[in-house]
Structure 1
Amino acid sequence: MLPYRKAPLVLALGAALALTHPVVALAQDAPATEADGAPLPVDGADAPSATTLDRVVVTATRGSKAIDRIPGAVSVITRTDLDEQLRVVEDLSEVLATQVPGYAPSRGKMTSFGESMRGRTPLVLFDGIPQSNPLRNGAREGYFADPAVIERVEVVSGASAVQGLGATGGIINYISRTPRTEGTRHTFDLKYGTQFESDDAFEKGGYLLEHKQGAFDALGYMGWAARGVGVDGEGRRLGIEGTQGDTQDSIARDVFIKLGYDFAETQRLQLTYNKFRMAGDADWRAVAGDRDAGIPTSAERGMPVGEPPRNKARTASLEWSDADLAGGAALVQVYKQDFAATYGAGAFANFQDVSIAPIGTLLDQSEVVADKAGLRSSWVRPGFLADSLELTTGLDWLSDTSYQQLALTGRLWVPELEFESWAPFAQMEWEQGPVTVRGGVRREHATLNVDTYTTLATYGSRVVEGGQRSYTQWVKNLGAVWRFAEGWSAFASYNEGFGLPDVGLVLRAVNRDGQSVDKLVALEPVVTDNREVGLTWAGAQGSFTSSYYDSRSELGSQVRVDRVTGLGSITRTPVHVKGFEFAGEWRPHADWRVSGTYARTRGKTAVGEGLPLDLELGARTQGPDKALLAVRWTPTEALSLRLQGARYLSRDINEGRNTGTTIYEEHFEGYTLVDFGAGWETRVGEFSFGIENLLDRQYVGYYPQSQPNPDDLNYFAGRGRTFTVGWRRSFD
């Protein structure tokens, strides 16, 4: 790996290299694939044509299915969509906030606290492998791979019964690239972003190798990215999130390998490995702002205490698929994922222990470790018992071992959590003419084992008796799609999702004697049901989809933060979320595309058990209403331009509401951001140009404004006008 400070030299060498190789066409969007990378059949037919690729998904049904056959709100972010957004800012959460109506605004930090979807937490997958850590949600699942290895993103909005633990708010499945074309192909990708300030640069370099020869294919990627510290619209240094982690003043590296072999005509074996690391560079430290005076948090040069925050994710999987097993398509995937997130150091109140050091002097930092192993299997059989019936069945197994430690003193904050689940599932689909009906069940069998442990001194050094909790839950779904006219369809659906509260947060906060793991009511599962109706139209000059949903959980899981101590706790009260979403596109001319989205979300919960649902969900759980409008112009085959504006509407909730030292009142003054991006294909490669915050708007982000535990160190302004240039060259 090259040090990031050598990026300008690499840019120059890359440009020189491009001039010495023959010109080749740029890669187009790859065909839609199964999560294992195999080409997608559609209802047993041949692979779809290029014009229908973006309408075929696998995440929502565990098998290939056209979107207009799925009773629910499903969207696909293609590689073209990714490229257009990444011209402006290299952040997958920004892509989601732009492309998915119900996704909350991006924090722009290493942490994803507050980046909810439809008022709940989505399950994040990478090739079907869980990246979320629901047992101890450290909110770091947004950084696990370089965007360059992603081929497409499939998003299921709302609870899902088919993917397992954590899918109470929806599913975001990132699907990696797979070589499609015979031969060997090399791609160099370089980017540089700046606000023309010292030490503010974003620098990135990557190399992608794609090889396919007969039945064998291989893909390899190596990349790095370095980020400096930018400025806001008024020229003030942006604040550093020193505790939860920041993408500023950081270096990220990724190594990705995928090997595939097709044998026996219908079978495929595939091995995938990804190793990703992002860590702070420890050159800058936070400077408190003044929230009351409207002065945002800033940063100054200097080394922060302790080790810098970092993310480490390592994922490996082995997949076998057979497109013709007993008349159906089978998939078996075994995987291993190791994850560790280290947070910033400090003499925090909840880390103090007089037996180690005087109160207020003990420095420590926490680390969440989550290691997973699992199996995913499915079998899709069209024409099961009758031509109009399709059966999807399978079995999932997950083993998750998680804990949270205080790294500098070796203390255990959250005891080791040993979770194991087995979940058989079956789905049946019936199609008759313009009507498709799909329904099924999933049976969750899960156990949680925790040994006897002692809480930190802050909580009274309580001895909590270990034990086992067992969960058995039926999770159901039922829906129908009616294609009632040319291009028109309507759907109605009912979906349930199964999840657990943040077990680690519950166990570490026990502050009463005589407690035991097997008697803590707060560990009861979260079961969410999502009722939804929608209307969709697609024609020659445009398309749109709109939906209304009603999501409920009788025993929700809300994090409440004490404003004095800063300690979080779980409150188990009902949660009710309703909302409306719209996404549409108009193509008035072959060279023009106008697209827009709108999302309105209204969530309610209760202050306590048995009390009315009259408390609006805060920023930790729910995003603001938002609208986005974008115009794309391609005046020539080689040139594309995109201008987009996003409006986040103001929000004032729970005025005057508080319980003791917990304050529920939040205020958010909305803002509008405009971005511009351009791509130009030339004989020496593709050049890109992006301007983030084109109008140089001064603003404070949604979560920092609405922060449920506000102080002067978390009042973060957004980035001012930023210019990014890129160059990509592919050659055989």
Structure 2
Amino acid sequence: MTPLSRAVALACLLMANTDALAQQGAGAEAASSSTVVVTATRGAKAVDKIPGAISVIGQQELASQYLIADDPSQALATYVPGYAPSRQKMTSTGESLRGRQPLILLDGIPQSNPLRAGSREGYFADSAIIERIEVINGASAMQGMGATGGIINYITKTARADGTTHGLNVRASSQLRSDNLDWKTGYSVTHKDGGFDLLGYVGLQRRGMGYDGDGRRLGIDNVQGDTLDSRGDDLFLKIGQRFGAQRMQLSLNRFNLRGEGDYRNEPGVVAAGVTTTSLPGRAPGEPPRNKVRSASLDYRHDELFGGAFSAQLFSHDFEALYGATPVATFQDVRLAPVGTLWDQSQIVADKRGARMTWVRPDMLADGLEMTVGLDILHDNTLQRLAATNRTWVPQLQFKSTAPFAQLEYEIGPVTLRGGVRHEQARLTVDTYTTLAAYGNRLVEGGETEFSKSIRNIGAVWRFAPRWSAFVASSEGFGLPDVGLVLRGVNTNGKSVATLIDLKPIITRNNEVGVNWRGADGQVGLSRYDSRSKLGSVLRVNAAGIGSVERVPTVVKGWEVSGDWRPVKTVSVFGSYAVTDGKTAASQGAPLDLALSARSQGPDKGVLGANWQFAPKAQLRVQASHLRDRDINIGRKVGTSNLEEHFKGYTLADMAVTFESAYGRIGVSVENVLDKQYVGYYSQSAAALDATGTFAGRGRTLALSWNRTW
């Protein structure tokens, strides 16, 4: 065991010996279970009444982390034990939750694109509009398709105080080099008058280049997408009106993030251990970009037939453009000589949907709560080659109708919970022809339907003051990457209706845990077992072409996390997660292959402390450790080499914030020790890719200023 992992384990043991085993989560600002309420479960519910591991990242935690690094995935990796390390890129390939993919939501609007997962869904809104993040760990069907690893729901801010308030925030970070200044500024206005409230925000951001611990310029990912040398903007509006027991709310979000195109990827030297870097100069084609447009109309009635009714109509338009590449898959001798054709992939996904929920307490008996609802989703997704206007993945028309019902019965210190959701889904695909690299195969279009009832059951026992234990079994529903399956058809006579690879993924998560939550802290310990009889594993062959294999997957692990306030001015927090994922070479083969870095993160520990050293000033220090991982030694499946090696590392950060008459000022240092390291994914899955062995950021100084009036 490494020094930091021993420290994390010791910290957790000390907290346990002082009555500090609490509900897993990062909601340090909540003093008791009654104040920590989660809404991602389709109804506001205190965490000590939910059978499962819940993480709530509050505003204070987010503000501290975004001062250190304005990176959504890095915040998740810090506060959610089972979340894999951040790539520090626009692409999120390899970022997973407990070895599986999470469903990402913004105020309940799905941001994930499970039909053609391009790993670009992590950037969809400015971090300044986020009030908190709720994470449901483990497979779940509460919010529909795609949550085989859990649910990550970003909750936006809302005007809460009467009157009008203006806010201005500025953040700048640098490594004291001429081309690596990052800056961000945003203006917000909130207004609340009786039943009317409004929040508006506009933000601009410009990111420069970065440097590693050795002072070498970081490698830019010109193809998959990068936050280096990029600019972004966000326009957000939320308007609400209350009419007695009823409330209407309209939310609009317009977000853009795109590369500037001023630098190009310079391959490293794999054999010599030289990492990828960047040189000034424009890469071919248009720079990668994300464009997101979301809208929702929400209605709530708090006293409808003795219960609370809520409904949401939403739309979500997502476009991801990838950088130009002459990859063999794009070549077509009818258009250009082999090896000379540069093209760009583009994913377009448009969603329309409705969600309705009615929660009725004391239904037929005291303590019996019933929740019923209906979800409707229409998802149209396609992937094209933008430069030559070729179809790579035909339009996928997915329609789903899902009624659900859940009962919860509270008997003194025990809460019993169980429910069922019935997914009735249909996928329609037109007849299409694959790219020349796959043989120009004609694939007959058609429909394939899925009908599946997905269940959950669990119990929470509050067996002593501030103590509780839970046991839960829940299922999640997902699809393999349908686009990846369809675009890779390379034999004649195939049809959409008969492709066995399109069968749904049903993941069952069984979990037990014990928790403690009190006025001075919280800690939670849980153990889980997640299984898919027909899972989905992406394997990359010797030619660099990925394919989906439908094989069983099992992920087991345990997690501990919490925080403790020994004195009024000091708080400590920590977590440790062990994840062990297994799969098979083929159906019927033994489960003796470890999941790769594309699917699973390494064992991870985090330890930190906050010290209020003055009435209006606070110091934060934190360290994270990733453990070594060497897997599948000498193993291959076909031409896919499954062997991976990862040398772990420890990173430390610090930040100071203080209130002044002119606003809140923050100073932070990321990677305080200027550690030279290569990221987890780059060391493991991309170890032999000279263009993808990316080092991580070296020591980075950031300053921020926030003022409201």
Query: Same fold judged by TM-score > 0.5?
Result: yes
The CA distance in 1 between the partners of 2:324 and 2:479, in whole Å, is 28
Residues 16-55 of structure 1 mapped to structure 2, 5 A cutoff? 55=36
Say if 2:183 is the partner of 1:203: yes
Say if 2:82 is the partner of 1:137: no
Q: Which residue number in structure 2 is paired with residue 511 of structure 1?
A: 490
Aligned with 1:93: secondary structure?
Answer: helix
- Of residues 197, 209, 213, the one that matches 1:229 is 209
Q: Which residue number in structure 2 is paired with residue 296 of structure 1?
A: 275
The CA distance in 1 between the partners of 2:32 and 2:695, in whole Å, is 42
The CA distance in 2 between the partners of 1:451 and 1:113, in whole Å, is 29
Deviation at 1:709, TM superposition (A): 7.1
- Of residues 273, 282, 286, the one that matches 2:261 is 282
Q: Relative to structure 2, which stretch is displaced further, 540-549 or 422-431?
A: 540-549
Indicate conservation of the 8 Å contact 1:618/1:708, yes or no.
no
Aligned with 1:317: secondary structure?
Answer: strand
Indicate conservation of the 8 Å contact 1:534/1:548, yes or no.
yes
Amino acid at match of 1:560: R
The CA distance in 1 between the partners of 2:493 and 2:696, in whole Å, is 47
The CA distance in 2 between the partners of 1:167 and 1:193, in whole Å, is 35
Aligned with 1:162: secondary structure?
Answer: coil
How many residues are matched? Answer: 681
Amino acid at match of 1:612: P
Say if 2:685 is the partner of 1:707: yes
Deviation at 1:52, TM superposition (A): 5.7
Aligned with 1:699: secondary structure?
Answer: coil
- Of residues 497, 506, 514, the one that matches 1:535 is 514
Deviations 1:637-680 (A, max 9, x none): 31111100000000000000012320100000000000001111
Say if 2:174 is the partner of 1:185: no
The CA distance in 1 between the partners of 2:333 and 2:687, in whole Å, is 26
Q: Which residue number in structure 2 is paired with residue 21 of structure 1?
A: none
Q: Which residue number in structure 2 is paired with residue 93 of structure 1?
A: 73
Deviation at 1:55, TM superposition (A): 1.2
Deviations 1:39-63 (A, max 9, x none): xxxxxxxxx998667511011x210
Residues 402-441 of structure 1 mapped to structure 2, 5 A cutoff? 402-441=381-420
Q: Relative to structure 2, which stretch is displaced further, 155-164 or 457-466?
A: 155-164
Deviations 1:365-411 (A, max 9, x none): 00000000000110000010111100011000000000000000000
Q: Relative to structure 2, which stretch is displaced further, 707-716 or 566-575?
A: 707-716
The CA distance in 2 between the partners of 1:375 and 1:504, in whole Å, is 24
Identify unmatched segments of 5+ residues in structure 1.
Answer: 1-47
Q: Which residue number in structure 2 is paired with residue 548 of structure 1?
A: 527
The CA distance in 2 between the partners of 1:50 and 1:646, in whole Å, is 25
Deviations 1:54-73 (A, max 9, x none): 511011x2101100000000
Deviations 1:278-327 (A, max 9, x none): 00001111100112211110001111100000000000000110011001
The CA distance in 2 between the partners of 1:369 and 1:53, in whole Å, is 42
- Of residues 280, 292, 303, the one that matches 1:324 is 303
Say if 2:565 is the partner of 1:587: yes
Q: Which residue number in structure 1 is paired with residue 233 of structure 2?
A: 253
The CA distance in 1 between the partners of 2:689 and 2:392, in whole Å, is 24
**CA pair 569-671 structure 1, distance change in 2 beyond 3 A:** same
**CA pair 160-695 structure 1, distance change in 2 beyond 3 A:** same
The CA distance in 1 between the partners of 2:698 and 2:226, in whole Å, is 17
The CA distance in 1 between the partners of 2:91 and 2:36, in whole Å, is 32
Deviation at 1:562, TM superposition (A): 1.3
Q: Which residue number in structure 2 is paired with residue 311 of structure 1?
A: 290
The CA distance in 2 between the partners of 1:49 and 1:388, in whole Å, is 25
Aligned with 1:94: secondary structure?
Answer: helix
Residues 395-544 of structure 1 mapped to structure 2, 5 A cutoff? 395-544=374-523
Q: Which residue number in structure 1 is paired with residue 661 of structure 2?
A: 683
Indicate conservation of the 8 Å contact 1:54/1:78, yes or no.
no
Q: Which residue number in structure 1 is paired with residue 11 of structure 2?
A: none
Amino acid at match of 2:297: L
The CA distance in 2 between the partners of 1:547 and 1:597, in whole Å, is 12
Indicate conservation of the 8 Å contact 1:561/1:709, yes or no.
no
Indicate conservation of the 8 Å contact 1:112/1:139, yes or no.
yes
**CA pair 297-432 structure 1, distance change in 2 beyond 3 A:** same
Q: Relative to structure 2, which stretch is displaced further, 578-587 or 527-536?
A: 578-587
The CA distance in 2 between the partners of 1:713 and 1:49, in whole Å, is 45
Amino acid at match of 1:650: D
Aligned with 1:704: secondary structure?
Answer: helix
- Of residues 692, 705, 716, the one that matches 2:694 is 716
Deviations 1:328-367 (A, max 9, x none): 0110000010000000101111000001111001110000
Amino acid at match of 1:632: N
The CA distance in 2 between the partners of 1:724 and 1:290, in whole Å, is 32
- Of residues 37, 44, 54, the one that matches 1:74 is 54
Q: Which residue number in structure 2 is paired with residue 656 of structure 1?
A: 634
Deviation at 1:541, TM superposition (A): 2.9
Deviations 1:451-507 (A, max 9, x none): 000000000000000000000000000000000001110000000000000000000
Q: Which residue number in structure 1 is paired with residue 12 of structure 2?
A: none
Q: Which residue number in structure 1 is paired with residue 622 of structure 2?
A: 644
Deviation at 1:710, TM superposition (A): 3.0
Indicate conservation of the 8 Å contact 2:191/2:198, yes or no.
yes
Indicate conservation of the 8 Å contact 2:392/2:435, yes or no.
yes
Deviations 1:255-278 (A, max 9, x none): 000000001x11000000000000
The CA distance in 1 between the partners of 2:374 and 2:285, in whole Å, is 44
Indicate conservation of the 8 Å contact 1:241/1:714, yes or no.
yes
User: TM-score, length-normalised on structure 1?
Assistant: 0.92
Amino acid at match of 2:248: L
Amino acid at match of 2:231: I
Indicate conservation of the 8 Å contact 1:341/1:369, yes or no.
yes
Amino acid at match of 2:39: V
Amino acid at match of 1:56: V
Deviation at 1:105, TM superposition (A): 0.2
Q: Which residue number in structure 2 is paired with residue 606 of structure 1?
A: 584
Deviation at 1:711, TM superposition (A): 1.0
The CA distance in 1 between the partners of 2:656 and 2:30, in whole Å, is 27
Q: Which residue number in structure 2 is paired with residue 57 of structure 1?
A: 38
The CA distance in 2 between the partners of 1:559 and 1:181, in whole Å, is 49
Q: Which residue number in structure 2 is paired with residue 376 of structure 1?
A: 355
The CA distance in 1 between the partners of 2:348 and 2:463, in whole Å, is 50
The CA distance in 1 between the partners of 2:43 and 2:345, in whole Å, is 40
Aligned with 2:176: secondary structure?
Answer: coil
Structure with more relative contact order (C-alpha pairs < 8 Å, separation 6 or more)? 2
Indicate conservation of the 8 Å contact 2:32/2:518, yes or no.
no
Residues 259-270 of structure 1 mapped to structure 2, 5 A cutoff? 259-263=239-243, 265-270=244-249
Residues 102-141 of structure 1 mapped to structure 2, 5 A cutoff? 102-141=82-121
Say if 2:618 is the partner of 1:625: no
Deviation at 1:161, TM superposition (A): 2.2
Identify unmatched segments of 5+ residues in structure 2.
Answer: 1-28
The CA distance in 2 between the partners of 1:187 and 1:267, in whole Å, is 29
Q: Which residue number in structure 2 is paired with residue 344 of structure 1?
A: 323
Deviations 1:228-272 (A, max 9, x none): 001000000000011100000000100000000001x11000000
Q: Which residue number in structure 2 is paired with residue 17 of structure 1?
A: none
Deviations 1:671-708 (A, max 9, x none): 00000011110110000111000000000000000015
Aligned with 1:87: secondary structure?
Answer: helix
Indicate conservation of the 8 Å contact 1:462/1:513, yes or no.
yes
- Of residues 120, 130, 142, the one that matches 1:150 is 130
Q: Which residue number in structure 2 is paired with residue 169 of structure 1?
A: 149
- Of residues 208, 220, 230, the one that matches 1:240 is 220
The CA distance in 2 between the partners of 1:349 and 1:391, in whole Å, is 55
Q: Which residue number in structure 1 is paired with residue 197 of structure 2?
A: 217
